[in-house]
Each structure stands twice: as C-alpha cells, then as structure tokens.
Amino acid sequence: MKKTAIVSGAASGIGAAVCEQLRHAGLRVIGIDLRNSDICADLATASGRAYAVEAALCLSEKRIDTLVCCAGLGPQAEPVAQIAAVNYFGVTALLDGLFEALQAGCRASAVVVSSSSATLQAWEGNPLRQAYLDGDEAAVQAMLANLPPDLAPQAGFIAYASSKNAVACAVRQRAASWGRAGVRLNAVAPGAVQTPLLEAGLADARYGEGIRNFIAPLSTRARAEPADIAALIGFVASDSAPFIHGSVVFADGGIDAAMRPHHF
C-alpha cells in the first residue's frame, strides 16, 4: 500500500519542495495551503484549522504515515496576531487533530518547521511563551497587541521568534507520549532560506535589513534553497531515521553556532 503524507504550506517555498521530495520517495502527498492546494484552508482561524483536519482525515481515510507542518508567516505579516495563529496554533491543531490517524500509519512520523530565529530571544519564564504552551490564543494575541512602546516596532519579529520557539517546545512536550504511541515527532530549524516568504521579508522596510544580515557564516553559500531543507525533512521523516525523536535539528549554515557558541 502506498504511504500517505500530509504537508501544510504545500503551495510554495519549503512546503512545495517537501511535496516534491516525498512524491519522489513514492508517497502519496495531500497538500494544505491557503490556496492552490488539495485542501484550501486558513490555518489562522479555528474554523480553518478544523476544516483542514477534517479534510485531511477524509482524504487520507484516517491513515497517515507522514505529517509535515511547513505553513508559516514571516515577521512582516499583518496583523501580527496572524503570525502566532498560523505558526503555532495552526501547527498544534494539525498535530493534535491528526495524531490518531498517524497512529494508524506505518512507522509514522511528523516533522514541524521551526526556525533558528527561535533562539534569538530569551524565553525562560516569559509570559508570552507560557501563554502559547497553555494553548491560550487570546492571551497571546493580547500580549502582542499591548507590547511596551520600546518593543512595539518589533512586534512582528517578537511574534515570529516566539511562535517558532513555542512550536519547537510543543514538539518536545509531545515526544514522550507520541513515542509510546509509536509515532516519531521532530522539528527542523532552518536559517535563511530563499523562498517567497524571505523575499517578502526583505522587501519590508521594518525587517528587511535584519533579514539581510541574518546569513550563514559559510564561505560558499549565504542562504539555503528550499530543496536543502526538504532533503533534511525527508530524511528525518523517513524510515532511515528510526531513532531520531523529540529533536530540534538545525539546518542554518552555522548561524546558531556563530551566535551562541557556548550553548546547544
């Protein structure tokens, strides 16, 4: 029987590259995106998430072998509440809503796309992070809307980094119970990747300079291509990585090592 994969953010960027990677590996791929996909749903809303889960269960006949959550918004997106809504609450809705179908799969696994940007802010004891992990979307929205005046101009970056940090934590939090249920769960944390999302950020007057400076310390390549990240996701999700579980795997060209050489 042909294995089935669900990929969110499937219409462009890393998600589109993942779809190609998985199809090449012989999987049947069902894509989720706002438009131009098998399932068109808005993961920024509770109703859109519910529809995406219902449609994915229907099309997969409640048997999923691979789930890859790539859908995400960059710091330039407005309103900033949508960044948190898609990057964290959209992801956790898919993880939790499709968990039983993954248990019915064959050596099933799930991979979530986080970001190396998640490490750029200190989150220990931060109420914003705790609100994410408590699943309190209203509290997250309220905090982002009422940042102190000195932080308000960076609201998009704060929403982006916090959502990517929290989603990596969500993976770690679920690892023990998912592992006992026979489903592997990991996160991949890319650095700068040449995607339409990155191009939109570069064009933004508020965040463009910071994004331009967020480049890998490699002598040959400053940014990854979507296929580079898709290759890693394909490996982590595959039967070739049976003992990789509960991990956050960086694919950032050394950015995290350069910025935090004494932490890992």
CATH number at residue 180: 3.40.50.720
List, for residues 184-233, the tens digit of each pLDDT value: 999 999 987 877 776 766 676 676 677 677 677 876 777 889 999 999 99
Structural domain includes residue 262:
no
Q: How many domains does the chain have?
A: 1
Instruction: Report yes or no on 193 lying in a domain.
Output: yes
Residue 260 included in any domain:
no
Interhelix angle 155-180/137-145, rounded to 10 degrees, is 160
**What is each CA distance from 165 to 101, 118, 133, 199, 235, in whole angstroms?**
26, 4, 10, 22, 22
Answer yes or no: is 60 within a domain. Answer: yes
CB atoms inside a 10 Å sphere around CB 122 = 9
**Residue 29 within a domain:** yes
In this structure, what are the phi and psi dihedrals at residue 69, rounded to the nearest 5 degrees? -100, 100
pLDDT at position 108 is 98
Active site residues: 160
Dump strand ranges (E) for 119-240: 184-190
The predicted structure's pLDDT at residue 129: 86
The reported pLDDT for the residue numbered 119 is 86
Among 243, 235, 183, smallest CA distance to 63 is for 183
How deeply is 263 buried, as exposed, middle or buried, from its count of CB atoms within 10 A (0-12, 13-18, 19+)?
exposed
Residue 264 domain-assigned (yes or no): no
Q: Tell me which amino acid residue 183 is.
A: V
Residue 67, domain extent: 4-251
Q: Which residues of the chain have pLDDT under 70?
A: 198, 200-202, 204-205, 207-208, 211, 214, 219
Question: What distance in Å separates the CA atoms of residue 180 and residue 199, rounded to the nearest whole number?
Answer: 41
Q: How many other C-beta atoms can be found within 10 angstroms of the C-beta atom of residue 23?
A: 12
- Note the pLDDT of residue 127: 85
Q: Is residue 257 part of a domain?
A: no
In this prediction, residue 208 carries a pLDDT of 66
pTM comes to: 0.93
pLDDT confidence of residue 201: 62
221 is a domain residue: yes
